[in-house]
Amino acid sequence: MAEKHFKYVIVGGGVSAGYAAREFAKQGVKPGELAIISKEAVAPYERPALSKAYLFPEGAARLPGFHVCVGSGGERLLPEWYKEKGIELILSTEVVKADLHSKTLRSAVGTTFTYDILIIATGSTVIRLSDFGVQGADAKNIFYLREIEDADKLVEAIKAKKNGKAVIVGGGYIGLELGAVMKINNLDVTMVYPEPWCMPRLFTAGIAAFYEGYYAKKGIKIVKGTVAVGFDSDADGEVKTVKLKDGRVLDADIVVVGVGGRPLTTLFKGQVAEEKGGIKTDGFFKTSVPNVYAVGDVATFPLKLYHEMRRVEHVDHARKSAEQAAKAIKASEEGKSIDEYDYLPYFYSRAFDLSWQFYGDNVGDTVMFGDSDPESPKPKFGSYWIKDGKVVGAFLEGGTPEENKAIAKVAGLHPPVGDVNQLANEGLSFAAKV
């Protein structure tokens, strides 16, 4: 089979690939120098849309509406943009073998790609219930959401099972966003998760109580403290019931599973240093192998603010790490230097008419403020995390852009806290005066 050579190759066609391409174009990449190899059939797009507006019953988001870099307020990079810039988009192409020593990638159909510099942007893959040997987990109408193809199948199922019953397995990001969107589609929704409250990796019990109360008010049933251990299907192979560990059985026409992801590093195992489940990089996203960079979900990088190595799975970091790597590559070619990556962790979500943002680190003691009553017509509340007498993290539901900026500033500056009760009373005004 033919061999193709490029100066720069990005393997993976998600958010990171699109933002890296834009940065390369800004840095003056020449036509024919850069290729993006993606197993998806479409140009890079803003993945968060898949669990939100893509599934809306009316006014749904569709491509080309949410190609990158529209998610951060930038220009939409349509397939034509890559052509104009001379960037080769190699779509529907899965890389199945990578040899970093010989700088060679091989696709499933046997095409060989060689490169001078590689950016690994393979992202994450979803964890499947079949990975744990859950009985009946391969039934039809059990869905996972990672790519646009998954979302298209789910859209079809929602249409086919009008007013049916949906069971959401998992109470994290995907679970909460999909629970909301299935309800908006008029399905009868039950959420199931093993933890004592939703989104336990980030939410405190107090924050979670608001969302669980709000979802219950919307008619969503929540079953906590148990897991799905099996599925029964009908003669057509379509899922009919979900069996729970506590003995309960739930009727289901559609099941959506959101129990987490794992970074896609398999191609590079044993060839590159790893740490904390990801590919180890420095503050420029260089790996232990010369001329190989890793960005987004797969990178474990030095988080300067906390003096430790971390891996961050979020679209904001996918965008920014990709830009940093492209800048670092061009700077090193020109013998210039750039600052190391200095990242403030940032997470957000939108569901129903709710919208929250979180900045910083969720460690230490917490102080809640504001109106967190799920019955309130306009709830607005937040939380600060305090460690060693300083605010290290901040969360806000229902904030204005200015207020969200203020809590970001607080989380980045770590202001000292004298009196915790006073902080609870001051609430947002504490952030405003920092």
Burial of 174 (0-12, 13-18, 19+ CB in 10 A): buried
The Cα–Cα gap between 128 and 403 comes to: 38
Residues 216-258 have pLDDT tens digits of 999 999 999 999 999 999 999 999 999 999 999 999 999 999 9
Mean pLDDT of 399-417: 97
Q: Given a cut of 70, is residue 1 above it in pLDDT?
A: no
CB 158 within 8 A of CB 182: yes
The Cα–Cα gap between 85 and 108 comes to: 27
pLDDT attached to residue 418: 87
Residues 39-51 have pLDDT tens digits of 999 999 999 999 9
The Cα–Cα gap between 215 and 400 comes to: 22
Candidates 3.30.390.30, 3.40.50.720, 3.20.20.80, 3.30.70.1350; CATH matching 353-433: 3.30.390.30
DSSP of 182-243: HHHTT-EEEEEESSSSSSTTT--HHHHHHHHHHHHHTT-EEEES--EEEEEE-TTSBEEEEE
The domain segmentation of the chain, as residue ranges, is 3-125+262-333, 129-259, 353-433
Q: Given a cut of 90, is residue 114 above it in pLDDT?
A: yes
> Which DSSP letter does residue 296 get?
G
Residues 343-353 have pLDDT tens digits of 999 999 999 99
Q: Given a cut of 70, is residue 429 above it in pLDDT?
A: yes
Please work out, in degrees rounded to the nearest 5, the angle formed at the alpha carbon of residue 432 by the alpha carbons of 429 and 434. Answer: 115
Q: Given a cut of 90, is residue 2 above it in pLDDT?
A: no
The Cα–Cα gap between 329 and 325 comes to: 6
Candidates 3.50.50.60, 3.40.50.300, 3.40.50.720, 3.40.50.800; CATH matching 129-259: 3.50.50.60
Average pLDDT, the chain: 97
**Cα 21 to Cα 44, 229, 304, distances in angstroms:** 10, 43, 25
Q: Given a cut of 80, is residue 158 above it in pLDDT?
A: yes
The Cα–Cα gap between 379 and 7 comes to: 52
Mean pLDDT of 329-350: 97
Mean pLDDT of 414-420: 93
Residues 89-99 have pLDDT tens digits of 999 999 999 99
Q: Given a cut of 70, is residue 388 above it in pLDDT?
A: yes
**Cα 235 to Cα 218, 238, 239, distances in angstroms:** 33, 7, 10
Please, what is the end-to-end C-alpha distance for the chain in angstroms? Answer: 61
Mean pLDDT of 115-126: 97
Q: Which two tokens stand for residue 97?
A: 């073998």
DSSP of 124-147: EEEPPGGGGT-BTTT-BTEEE-SS
Q: Any idea which fold 3-125+262-333 has?
A: FAD/NAD(P)-binding domain (3.50.50)
In 3D, which of 261, 262, 332, 260 has the Cα closest to residue 293?
A: 332
CB 21 within 8 A of CB 319: no
Pairing of strands 365-371, 380-387: antiparallel
Domains 3-125+262-333 and 353-433 share a fold: no
Q: Is the dihedral of CA 210, 216, 219, 225 positive or negative?
A: positive
